[in-house]
């Protein structure tokens, strides 16, 4: 094996870390001792570099997890209900305040039509409003009457926007719901 073969093999494997086809002689005893020492040195260096990279990745993962927990807490403990719908108006996600407003558990809200949580007479207004959000692709707001699990009604202010999630290759309607004083007129 030539002097440059060790460096070439090292570069080749570094560019493709999943390459298992290392070009080594069948019988390592056929290599001169200097070449074996060079290979051992390259392996030690690569091992050290991988250990450093692994440490950096673990530290980055810890930071991401901390951020995720912080934002999850902010989302779930927010003073308003957050609902994420698909284009058909089906609830895909909801925070704790949202399920509390409805008097339900999260499992009873996810995958349900958002319109089912509104007073019957406001259902058509909600449907038109959701379509307007999709068509205009900008933030919209409205006042409607929502219905709790015990059929008690409450006035709600909804603000929503249409969001195209390029990473997940999906579109969403993101809605913030705030409970209003009972004297607010529906349809505003």
Q: What is the pLDDT of residues 57-86, one digit of tens each?
A: 999 999 999 988 888 888 888 999 999 999
Nearest to 43 by CA among 6, 82, 86: 6
Quick one: pLDDT at residue 185? 45
For the chain, domain boundaries: 3-73, 78-179
Q: Examine the pLDDT at 45 and tell me if it is beyond 70.
A: yes
Q: Examine the pLDDT at 1 and tell me if it is beyond 50.
A: no
Bigger pLDDT: 20 vs 143: 143
Quick one: pLDDT at residue 34? 87
pTM: 0.67
Quick one: pLDDT at residue 26? 67
Q: What is the pLDDT of residues 23-44, one digit of tens each?
A: 556 667 778 888 888 888 999 9
Measured in degrees and rounded to the nearest 5, phi and psi for residue 127 equal -60, -45
Q: Which CATH class is domain 78-179?
A: alpha beta
Confidence of residue 188 (pLDDT cuts 50, 70, 90): very low
147 within 8 A of 164, measured Cβ to Cβ: no
Count of Cβ atoms closer than 10 Å to residue 153 Cβ? 14
Count of Cβ atoms closer than 10 Å to residue 161 Cβ? 15
Q: What is the pLDDT of residues 120-165, one digit of tens each?
A: 999 999 999 999 998 888 888 999 999 999 999 999 999 999 998 8
């Amino acid at each position: 094996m030539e002097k440059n073969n060790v460096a070439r093999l090292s570069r080749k494997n570094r560019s493709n870390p999943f390459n298992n086809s290392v070009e080594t002689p069948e019988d390592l005893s056929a290599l001169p001792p200097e070449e074996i020492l060079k290979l051992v040195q390259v392996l030690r260096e690569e091992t050290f570099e991988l250990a450093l990279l692994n440490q950096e990745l673990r530290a980055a993962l810890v930071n991401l997890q901390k951020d995720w927990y912080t934002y999850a807490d902010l989302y779930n403990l927010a003073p308003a209900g957050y609902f994420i719908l698909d284009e058909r108006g089906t609830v895909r996600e909801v925070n704790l305040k949202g399920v509390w407003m409805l008097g339900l558990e999260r499992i009873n809200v996810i995958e349900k039509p958002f319109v089912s949580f509104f007073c019957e007479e406001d259902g058509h207004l909600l449907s038109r409003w959701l379509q307007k959000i999709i068509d205009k692709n900008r933030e919209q707001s409205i006042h409607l009457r929502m219905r709790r699990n015990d059929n008690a009604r409450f006035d709600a202010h909804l603000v929503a926007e249409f969001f195209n999630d390029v990473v997940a290759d999906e579109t969403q309607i993101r809605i913030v719901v705030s409970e209003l004083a009972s004297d607010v007129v529906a349809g505003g």
